[in-house]
Amino acid sequence: MISRVRTERLIAAIRPFVEAGVVPGAVVGLRERGEATVHAMGTTAPAGDDPLLVDAQVRISSNTKPMVAALTLGLAQDGVLGLDDPVERFLPELADRRVLRRLDGPLNKTEPARRPVTVEDLLTMRLGFGWVFESECPAVDRATELELGFGPPDPPAPPPPDEWIARFAKLPLLEQPGSVWRYELAFAVLGVLVARAAGRPLDVTLTDRLLTPLGMTDTAFVADPERLVPAFVRGQNGLAPFDGVASSRWASPPRFADGRGGLVSTAGDLLRFAGMLLDGGGGLLTPSSVIAMTTDRLTPEQRAGPSAATFLDSGGWGYGVGVVESSAGHRYGWGGGLGTLWYSWPDHDLAAVLITQVLPPAVEVFDAFTTAVESSLSD
């Protein structure tokens, strides 16, 4: 049974940020011991009149990653692929990788990769390519020029999957496979690999194998214009439009169904996904797959790396989820750069989700949300 006190505490923690205009509205949801509740507050736009509803559909950005990870583990269970498989089994374009000698060095100064990239390297984001914060990096600059997607999700922008992977194959890796955790390009590669392995596009495979069985009817790579709400970007002069509804960049099927962050969803659907994991896989994943997915896979050195220090905040990374040991116990989950957050506390059979619509997410809102849940669990 869901704790009324916990629900009220969570709502009370978020409401001041809505009233202050930090976010125009918010949806908070809890799933506890198999029961779910969702509450909404505020409006769909700054100073707007339309209330934000509990079933509002939003762009969940990086909350896409855990779903693609779960799909990959399901395919591994069925023998469609193996976590130890070299990615070139499905992506021959990525055979015989070269690796930069220096992160800030020219693209033609490389050495051979010591081993192939594996499927597990993609799940753990140890591909050897991703965001660079600690230096200049001509290879990342070139990836941006090739429209591989370094920035907020933009469904019409990247080329189709085969062309995308062909462009990526032109670049050297930044580090040796398996050595460094870097956000987030590995999940774009993983999406292409999953589609190749399954023999069907990523959106079709994800829908058939994960979304439909879980009843996640509001989660897709194309938005429902009746349910989608606008998204905003935070600037010096307040909140400005990022993506609308009638002209949304999510209104049409993307050329590239991006495993990094292309989905739209609702609070209710995020709780359904969280519930599947809390229930030991819900018949879609085995309990051992859930444990593997939600266990930290990184070494201490990898957790201390520049990309991990920026995104993981002293936590770790499993397969598609962040992993944290806190005062309330083990938790796992992830957030989306357009304002969504999900965490589960398996020791308490509890999941919590937060839906907002602002890029970048308000750190103080995310922190208040997590603190409210964990303080209620620690009482």
CA–CA distance, 6 with 229 (Å, rounded to integer): 27
Residue 192, CA distances (Å) to 89, 166, 237, 354 in order: 12, 11, 39, 29
**What tokens appear for 239 in the block?**
């909140």
Structure tokens at 284: 């879609």
Cα(254)–Cα(259) distance, integer angstroms: 12
Predicted pLDDT at 286: 98
Strands 98-100 and 58-59: unpaired
User: Which pLDDT score, from 0 to 100, does residue 1 have?
Assistant: 66
235-241: list long-range contacts, CB under 8 Å, 24+ apart.
238/21, 238/46, 239/21, 239/24, 239/46, 239/358
Count CA atoms closer than 13 A to 333's CA, side-chain side: 25
CA atoms in the 13 A half-sphere facing the CB of 180: 18
pLDDT of residue 313: 83
3-state secondary structure of 265: strand
Q: The whole model's pTM is what?
A: 0.97
Is the peptide bond prior to 184 cis by the omega test (within 30 degrees of 0)?
A: yes
pLDDT of residue 4: 81
| pLDDT tens, the chain, 379 aa long | 677 879 999 999 999 999 999 999 999 999 999 999 999 999 999 999 999 999 999 999 999 999 999 999 999 999 999 999 999 999 999 999 999 999 999 999 999 999 999 999 999 999 999 999 999 999 999 999 999 998 899 999 999 999 999 999 999 999 999 999 999 999 999 999 999 999 999 999 999 999 999 999 999 999 999 999 999 999 888 999 999 999 999 999 999 999 999 999 999 999 999 999 999 999 999 999 999 999 999 999 999 999 999 999 889 999 999 999 998 999 999 999 999 999 999 999 999 999 999 999 999 999 999 999 999 998 7
Q: 268: which residues sit within 8 A by CB, 6+ positions away?
A: 29, 36, 38, 54, 55, 218
- Backbone φ, ψ for residue 234 (5° rounding): -85, 130
Quick one: CATH architecture of 4-70+201-378? 3-Layer(aba) Sandwich (3.40)
CATH architecture for residues 81-198: Up-down Bundle (1.20)
Q: Residue type at 247?
A: S
Kindly state the tokens that stand for 145: 């020029």
Output the pLDDT for position 164: 98
Kindly report whether the peptide bond that precedes residue 116 is cis, defined as omega within 30 degrees of 0. no
DSSP 8-state secondary structure symbol assigned to residue 360:
S
Q: Are 86 and 62 in contact (CB under 8 A)?
A: no
Residue 221 identity (one-letter amino acid): F
Residues for the chain: how many in total? 379
Q: Are 271 and 29 in contact (CB under 8 A)?
A: yes
Give the dihedral sign, CA 250/59/83/81. negative
Domain range list for the chain: 4-70+201-378, 81-198
Two tokens at 43?
């409006």
Distance, in Å, from the CA atom of 188 to the CA atom of 259, rounded to the nearest integer, reads 5
Pairing mode, if any, of strands 350-355 and 35-42?
A: unpaired
Q: How would you classify residue 283: left for phi > 0, otherwise alpha for psi between -120 and 50, otherwise beta?
A: left
Residue 293: what pLDDT? Answer: 98
Answer yes or no: same fold for 4-70+201-378 and 81-198. no
